[in-house]
Structure 1
Amino acid sequence: MDRPHFIGIGGAGMSGIAKILAQRGAKVAGSDARESGTADALRALGAAVHIGHDAANLAADATSVVVSSAIRADNPELVRAAELGIPVVHRSDALASLMTGLRSIAVAGTHGKTTTTSMLAVALTELALDPSYAIGGDLAGPGTNARHGGGDIFVAEADESDRSFQKYDPEVAIVLNVELDHHANYASMDEIYDSFETFVGKVVPGGTLVITADQPGAVELTSRVRDLSTLKVVTYGDAPAADVRVHKITPRGLSSEVTVVLGGKYLTFTVSVPGSHYAHNAVAALAAGVALGLPAHNLASALGKYTGVKRRLQLKGEEAGVQVIDSYAHHPTEMTADLAAMRGAASEARLLVVFQPHLFSRTQELGTEMGQALALADASVVLDIYPAREDPIPGITSSLIVDAAKAAGADVTAVHDQAEIPDVIAGMAKPGDLVLTMGAGDVTDLGPAILARLAN
């Protein structure tokens, strides 16, 4: 991995690995579809970043080609790698190699991975432990998704979508929740459980599984792995029997005060982002740090330094008395959690949502639930499906979500041209309103345009 070439180097997961390798002294190169701040950040670390995919981008002396599951077999750089006999390495294998020899924490779950991984990265840094980390989003403070640290701890977001999290051998594994998602790769909950069981089974002997005691899928997983003799299981959550029990969560505007019972003692700390689900993410991070042997009181205080991740209820700005906030939520559970969090943080405000569905397969399976989630908003605008890596599925459009939302009593409008959104929102919004751009696609780009239109 001393001269790696990344196909899709600007992606959240790929860029993190590339940054760490560059910081470790590797000669990093790669390509991406378009220019971005991530590409500029990689160039600042010495990486050669090409825009557009072309066989000529791949240097003949590259020692490996790193790909994610999103890269298609006919990508010209991948084809060229085969011609040159350059080894192809999956992103997960590259990340696993970076964690070798370090005390690793792998954060898994259908939702909340990025936030929880980020909370740990910030807290461990605050405690002067100089961790390495690879996250699926940019931290609000450092502004990066990855770092090579000098300490012996590596915190990584572990992606279940393509089963790649099965490549890791963590000392501590966190499972935040277990739900059916990624329908192109999983046909049933049994397949999901099997995949998570394999992940948990890779925890090193004597290591720890930190898992919620509240979510049904996680409870089922716990019952399946409790007999692993080499594994210590630590549960957390609201459940009375949880090892780390959430005693109380008190909203404080855009933050929360959290009290837990740990080892028979009460411990109170601040979480600087709103919503119960973010508070529970922080409790998972606390339990994982304690499993590594860190003092609970010091860790709790350090978790209060976390200020957020880009795209996780990130305030983009305010114009004409209207705040515009960006959310990465794209699964119904995430959507419901973020909408509930904003309701709790600003109960008097009207909540307007611009939602962009992500993936045809997810919309096909969960479109009804997405529409029902939008009923929590005062009014919503639904865009066309963002395809990402998928080809269209006949008959599957965002109208599935719109129809379900209307059936749930929601005020919802379909808009097919994203360029119209700033004018549409400007016509809807009033001083004091909150506008939430929501989804995993390029809906995030609309925030600045909405703010500019509101200013006029």
Structure 2
Amino acid sequence: MNLDNIDNVYFIGIGGIGMSALARYFHAKNKRVAGYDKTQTEITDSLEALGIKVHFNDSVSNIPNPFFNYDTTLVVYTPAIPKANMELVYFKNEPSFTVLKRSQILGIITENTFCLAVAGTHGKTTTTSILGHLLKECDVPVTAFLGGISENYNSNLILNGTDVSVVEADEFDRSFLTLSPDIACITSMDADHLDIYGDASELIKSFEDFSKRVKENGKLFVKNGLPLKGITYGIEDNSDYSVQNIKIENGVYVFDAKMPETTLKNIQFNLPGRHNLSNALIALAMAVEYGCPHQQLAKALASYKGVKRRFSYHIKTEDLVYIDDYAHHPEEINAVYQAVREMYPGKKVLAIFQPHLFSRTRDFADDFAKSLSQFDEVLLLDIYPARELPIEGITSKWLLDKIENPNKQLIDKTEIISKIKESQASIILTIGAGDIGEEVKHIKKSLSVEN
């Protein structure tokens, strides 16, 4: 379809991180934008501040009049929206309207650009935001759609031109198969979204299918050790691109990046954790393959600040550190643990975790228990359902019983601050992909008053 002929774009689920990036994009393109979401959040507030109309009651009567003109209106929805959503049902039952998934719109927007796509069960958002930042700092005419809020831009959209696009290639609902990238990477293929795929082999097959979507003369990067062919990257190994000679100086990584043609020495990078070093390396490699100057890339990488809710510091003093992270898979929790232990050896760590999805909790319960047991103290919140209905027997109490750590409790959100104050921990972590992120400002305010 020709997006130039569209005047109005209506979003069902506009507050989602990927949906809101598209809403910002179309608003910047001078389209009339509006949408529905079930919950008011900082994201919906930021959209309304731009002049985008957002409502929170699922009713066709709340849709502004201009969006009923099917000739000039595009309707975009997220698969996370229930099929019974009244607005979605209305538009789908009106055959004159064009109703497309978010992933389909990304495919349309990027098909006539030079597209760089980041795939993988972990690391997509951070890698995409690093890559978007590197290209912008190298004056590339790039639009980057991010799955998180970049600290550098306070936005999930980097808009510096439209010739080049950077996107997260999302495996959920096989969304990434709408893309045809020129350069792509696959960071990881750990089992996840088994509610969609059934078993891990189907997930791996979808990544294989994605690898075949790379254009004929394009380039595919794969993390060393994955069962796919491509340009390899890794940490302190013999990959085509690798991180070498890692040091920590004043809380900042300093490393060398070994490339096929040369080695970039003494690169600085501010994000903790070996997983983030890996993310930085692959973003650097993709930007090098695109053609960005090496020294300009090194300078840009040193100025990268991170993504909100990805190992985000909210308090950082000698006596107390408070970090918030989006981790919602056992491997991601392990990565957070490794980063904390590397940066703060010997300190007592309290982890407050909100499980995300009943199905994910069920499918990875033993792995969650093992990853959470590593922390000195664990506070567990109820499972955040997101798009799911409860599953019999799958509860946070059931998960808590599996955690082999005597310092564990099941709490509700109203108890978080009092339990933190009872703890002797000097490192506080909030972890999870649900609405625990809405508690961060309250926790920060309370702990800041105390200190």
Task: Say yes or no: TM over 0.5.
Answer: yes
SS in structure 2 opposite 1:89? strand
Contact 2:180 2:213 in 1 (8 A): yes
In structure 2, the residue matched to 1:379 is 377
Deviation at 1:236, TM superposition (A): 0.5
SS in structure 1 opposite 2:172? coil
Contact 1:7 1:66 in 2 (8 A): yes
Q: Distance in 2 between matches of 1:236 and 1:318?
A: 32
Deviation at 1:296, TM superposition (A): 3.1
Deviation at 1:30, TM superposition (A): 0.6
Following TM superposition, where does structure 1 have runs of at least 4 consecutive aligned residues deviating by more than 4 angstroms? none
Deviation at 1:282, TM superposition (A): 0.5
In structure 2, the residue matched to 1:230 is none
Q: Distance in 2 between matches of 1:378 and 1:392?
A: 30
Q: Distance in 2 between matches of 1:451 and 1:445?
A: 11
Contact 1:322 1:429 in 2 (8 A): no
**Is 2:441 the counterpart of 1:444?**
no
Counterpart AA for 2:245: K
Deviation at 1:209, TM superposition (A): 0.4
SS in structure 1 opposite 2:222? strand
1:401-420 matches, cutoff 5 A = 401-406=399-404, 409=405, 411-415=407-411, 417-420=412-415
In structure 2, the residue matched to 1:355 is 353
Counterpart AA for 1:183: L
The Cα RMSD (Å) is 1.8
Deviation at 1:320, TM superposition (A): 10
Q: Distance in 2 between matches of 1:339 and 1:254?
A: 16
Q: Deviations over 1:89-145 (max 9, x none)?
A: 000011111113211111010100000001011111111224201011000121000
Q: Deviations over 1:148-205 (max 9, x none)?
A: 3325221111110110001001101110011110111112222012101111111111
Contact 1:139 1:310 in 2 (8 A): yes
Q: 1:296 aligns with which of 264, 276, 294?
A: 294
SS in structure 1 opposite 2:256? strand
Q: 2:312 aligns with which of 311, 314, 326?
A: 314
Q: 1:71 aligns with which of 64, 81, 85?
A: 81
Q: Percent identity?
A: 36
Q: Distance in 2 between matches of 1:26 and 1:362?
A: 38
SS in structure 2 opposite 1:256? strand
1:137-152 matches, cutoff 5 A = 137-152=148-163
Contact 1:378 1:410 in 2 (8 A): no
In structure 1, the residue matched to 2:3 is none
Q: Distance in 2 between matches of 1:41 and 1:131?
A: 22
SS in structure 2 opposite 1:190? helix
1:321-336 matches, cutoff 5 A = 321-336=319-334
**Structure 1 pair 305/396, CA: closer, same or farther in 2 (3 Å)?**
same
In structure 1, the residue matched to 2:211 is 200
SS in structure 2 opposite 1:138? strand
Q: 2:386 aligns with which of 379, 385, 388?
A: 388
Q: 1:163 aligns with which of 174, 187, 210?
A: 174
Q: Distance in 1 between matches of 2:242 and 2:406?
A: 36
Counterpart AA for 1:453: S
**Is 2:23 the counterpart of 1:15?**
no
Q: Distance in 2 between matches of 1:258 and 1:320?
A: 26
**Is 2:81 the counterpart of 1:81?**
no
Counterpart AA for 1:157: E
**Is 2:280 the counterpart of 1:282?**
yes
In structure 1, the residue matched to 2:418 is 423
Contact 2:135 2:292 in 1 (8 A): no
Q: Distance in 1 between matches of 2:14 and 2:388?
A: 19
**Structure 1 pair 320/447, CA: closer, same or farther in 2 (3 Å)?**
farther
1:118-197 matches, cutoff 5 A = 118-197=129-208
Unaligned runs of 5+ in 2: 1-5
Q: Distance in 2 between matches of 1:443 and 1:164?
A: 26
**Structure 1 pair 183/410, CA: closer, same or farther in 2 (3 Å)?**
farther
SS in structure 2 opposite 1:4? strand
Deviation at 1:45, TM superposition (A): 3.3
Counterpart AA for 1:285: A
Deviation at 1:239, TM superposition (A): 6.5
| Alignment coverage as a number of residue pairs | 437
Q: Deviations over 1:210-231 (max 9, x none)?
A: 11104xxxx21x1xxx4xxxxx
Q: Distance in 2 between matches of 1:264 and 1:122?
A: 23
In structure 1, the residue matched to 2:270 is 272
SS in structure 1 opposite 2:417? helix
Counterpart AA for 1:90: K
Deviates more, 1:316-325 or 1:102-111: 316-325
Q: Distance in 1 between matches of 2:209 and 2:406?
A: 41
Q: Distance in 1 between matches of 2:446 and 2:286?
A: 44
In structure 2, the residue matched to 1:453 is 446
In structure 2, the residue matched to 1:260 is 257
Deviation at 1:50, TM superposition (A): 1.6
Q: Deviations over 1:419-456 (max 9, x none)?
A: 011111111145xx010000001112222322343325
Q: Distance in 1 between matches of 2:290 and 2:121?
A: 23
SS in structure 2 opposite 1:43? helix
1:230-269 matches, cutoff 5 A = 233-238=230-235, 240-268=237-265, 269=267
Q: Distance in 2 between matches of 1:317 and 1:51?
A: 33
Unaligned runs of 5+ in 1: 227-232
Q: Distance in 2 between matches of 1:368 and 1:422?
A: 28
Q: Distance in 1 between matches of 2:235 and 2:315?
A: 34
